[in-house]
Structure 1
Amino acid sequence: MINNQINIYKLLGADPSIYVEGDKENATSQFELYLNSTLVETVHDNDASHLFKIAKAGTYHVVAKSNTATLKSNEVVFYDSEIQPQKIQSRSVTHELHVPEEKKLKGKDHIVDVGKGFYIEIKIKKGAFSLLKEQVKKFKKTYSLTKKTTNLDSFPKWHSIHEHEYYIITQKMNEKTAHELCRQIEQIDGVIYCSITPFTDNLEPPFLKSVEKSASTRSEKKAKRITAPSHDITPDFSELQRYLDEGRGMNIRSVWAQGNTGQGVVIRHIDFGIYKDHEEFQEGNITVVHSRSETKDCNHGTASTGCIAAGKNSFGVTGIAHSAAFHFYDTDDLYKVVEQAKPGDIVSIDMQAYFNNEFAPMISIKSWWDAIKNLTQKQVITIMAAGNGGHNVGNLSFCPDYGDCGGILVGACNPPDGHRASFSNYGHRDSLINSWGWDVVTTGYDSLQKRPGHNRNYTNTFNGTSSATPLCCGALALLQSHAKKRGFLLTPQSMRALLKRSSYTEGVKDGIGRRPNVGQLVKIVDAMAFTPIAGVNPFPASSNYLNYNIDLQPNSNNKAKIHFDYRPSGITHTGVIAYHKAEGPAELEWYSYGHSLITLPVFDEEGQINIVTLKASKENIGGSFTMNSAADVQNHSPGEFDLSLSFNQQDNKHLSPGKYKGILPLYVQSWTRRARKFPIIVNITIEVNDLPINPFPDLPIKPFPDFPK
């Protein structure tokens, strides 16, 4: 029996791939990759997922087989331009960001003081252990090498981790001895690096920053402490979550309004413990993989979790990606995350390194840099706090440059103006994004509401890069969710490229990058999905396709009709279907009243791709139907109908004023003679004006004309 219980997604860039997301409850023994109907690759894998590399354009699907079931996936299409991206230099959307060659990792090490000591981690080429062991025996002191075991099932076969091994030395030593030991070990052939790595189990959380606010940086609407009400219900604090707003926030609410709340995305968050029984964490989307005892201070991780995953309900706060699958890990779980993370996951590390009385990002630790590199090479999007030192981390004496690990640093901005908060680190080449560094309303602590215990407390003072990191994590999860809806995964490289197009640029000149404008960026994700088919006529001249030109404007001319009459040919019960499934209905139905939605890629006057939504209906004497409705009205002009296309500017408010042009390829198909499909090209020009201003704000603006019901 074949069931459709697995999904596949495209990964675009230098190495086009297909990610198979299987049934997590059942391990799969075999995956079969098909190009059209031809089997091109078979692999055996005990994991529920797999990553295939793609070499040819075409339509792909996957069949997964186990002892109990055979599962068939959806189909995805790779176009020539996606397999050979160098041939589409004229396209406006970049799917891949060039990653510079990794620099040498030897030397350049700090002693990071976290109060718990450190150990030595050694990365070697596979097969080099015998030489390492032999040379270490010659040292004056005796050191014990212990192999660090890693479950590699989730790593694709071409991942570089398969070419290396890791060993650790845990004996206590002073700083001078550690530096000298690493210097000696790094001289041995086959050694990639030797890292002085701090123990991070049960780390004390950082203190919240004491933020001094000048008149120019004071919030316009400060969330004030609310006295606990006499009744036993927490108030709704969602209005105070101003970081969700358009403008000075991250434009989250507009994306929620479209139904995107993080569905289908896995988030793996590393932090300082969590109060797992908090009232906001009972919706079933939160898994605590590991957390310290709740007798310790778990407010930091509780506050971060609330920013990302607090439940959608009538009280308290709402997490940015509250429908995502959220996994919580404690501060010593980095390597557990490296093992468990899958392509497309979002990993956020809300920690900072501490040395010489200064705060630095965790990538200043060589082994952490390498672990993050392993994650991003596995196509896991990884972000981490830039740290609260107020320093330029481009300074190599402060933060060694080991190369590009593929991760993203998160800085903190002032909510009122978007500029760098004074305490935020800045200046690293991977410090690409930022969000609010104070006045963050979320779960935990107690400055907003304090109740007995920890499970109903809320704060309005969560701050630092500690608050900015989970806020950005939630934002990136919404972007990934939207990409999956469009059939592809954002990779670490394509996520970076996408974030560089955010319109919230106040922090760029301050060295903390852009603040995600999620409402704007989901439109660019749409454009990324439609780039290969934008403006392309797929029909050869020999197909004798019909060609139509229509102009749509946001006024009385917002609707156009194309008349079809197949009575002379005797073809009846005809409907209109989309050539591309992504653009509209691609299969006939008998009939449904109403209209269909067309999602069309169009070019603006500067050659940028945008997405417009049109309404399409088949109209005849019987009324208005979905465009793919086939049924004729009984005893009345069989085979004759109008295809109506309309543009509503209120449905396309993301478009700037100007002209847009696109090509919509369609088929007219008969219900009774399915093999007969008549190709149609509709060349569409749309003129967008400034939206009208309502002079009576208490009254709604009258909508543009719509189809009759």
Structure 2
Amino acid sequence: QGRYLSAEDPRTGATGLLSYNSKHRDLNVKEAWKQGVTGQGVVVSILDDGIEKNHPDLEHNYDPDASYDVNDGDPDPQPRYTQLNDNRHGTRCAGEVAAVANNDICGVGVAYNAKIGGVRMLDGEVTDVVEAQSLSLNPQHIDIYSASWGPEDDGKTVDGPAKLAKEAFLRGVTEGRGGLGSIFVWASGNGGREKDSCNCDGYTNSIFTLSISSTTQCGMVPWYSEACSSTLATTYSSGGSNEKQIITTDLRQKCTDFHTGTSASAPLAAGIIALALEANKNLTWRDMQHLVVRTSNPAHLLTDDWKTNGVGRKVSHSYGYGLLDAAAIVALAQNWTNVGPQQKCVLSMVSEPRNIANHLVISKSVDACQGQPNFVSSLEHAQARLTLSYNRRGNLAIYLISPQGTRSTLLAPRPHDYSSEGFNDWAFMTTHSWDEDPRGEWTLEMENVEGASDYGTSSFHLSVPPDRFECPRLPADPFNSPIYAGAEAGRPLRQKGRASLPPSQSAASLLALQL
């Protein structure tokens, strides 16, 4: 039986509400530790601005084989130090996963016996090449990649992985971990104040990532949190000024109790997933998503958007399937039978573009490719690929209703999005119909929430589960390869501000770290 936390780590109480509390739900981590599961043998890498590998609460678990400096092209992921400690983000995330227990230093990681590495990739221009190299680092050694960054959380950006990063995701889930698939954990985004939607973030909206949202100590939706149908589950993070934030390792061998935002939530999830992987090393990337759906708990999470889907599970655009439960996911993982191969069924819903006007409803009865080798009898992800033009994109609301009656909001109105670009084959994804029978009538609704002055056209097809794309593979060693032909040289700088929020709602805006 592995050790579990004692009082010798002085600040553990606020690390992430790890132990049972009768008044509030918790992550139930101590109960998993009592089962002897502490992350032993599991490797996690933090894709960020570096990791302070000599931090006294990290160095024992530091793994150089899970680390690289993509920004400078060398093996050392040590952060670049500045007067303002701008590059503290990755070190903070790393401590949540694998800070050492029982050493009387700071707090303790959720998977405190896991190995932890870091990829320094945000401290410079973040191009498609940089992302692809980071996502594809040593995939036969690294089990879990944790990322707490993405496009601008400004309520108007629509952006996601480009060609090479898409290839890296696909190669990771098909070839990583000996074919079981790399596990990518992603923070859902901090654009709540800007009315942003994480369905417009192609990283969290991907079937290949396990998207994690936040709740406060009191079980409330944080002011920064984004709601969307691709979020799978939730962990704790910061809330109001009177609520606890996350305690973790900090730059210059220090400790902080001010780690915030959805960036603080994703590493907690990565740690819990590491516990499940120790319990069962044969879990695939899709098995892990099934386990999260089945064991996450909606109890004590307060929001008005809970609904019951077609198989009787509660699900929310704010929280996904609820708060992660470490003991429950470990227990289910131990005797889990692997799911079968993923099937895809692509269905064309309209034969020609349709005028949206104020309200457009498209319905079609589908058989989910019944009678064919790619028949889908039980849903995991459902994806609507949309191409549309519209004179003000932010006025649109888009909903997908499954044959079982589950209504997913694929796009909520975004008042700051004045763009007339529309969407070009954008893959809106929902997890809300997980395990439902996809056969029957699917309905897509588009609504102009501002009135009759807007106009546009739309076409789309439905993919259940989402369509897999065929792409050329990355070179076996991307770090020693020339610049990829056709790669985008100037992708927008990825936003690290997901973890560095002001401590309460009193601040004027989210803080995006400028490098």
Report the TM-score when normalising by structure 2.
0.49
From the two aligned structures, give the one with the greater strand fraction. Answer: 1
Q: Which gives a bigger RCO, structure 1 or 2 (Cα 8 Å, sep 6+)? A: 2
Report the TM-score when normalising by structure 1.
0.37
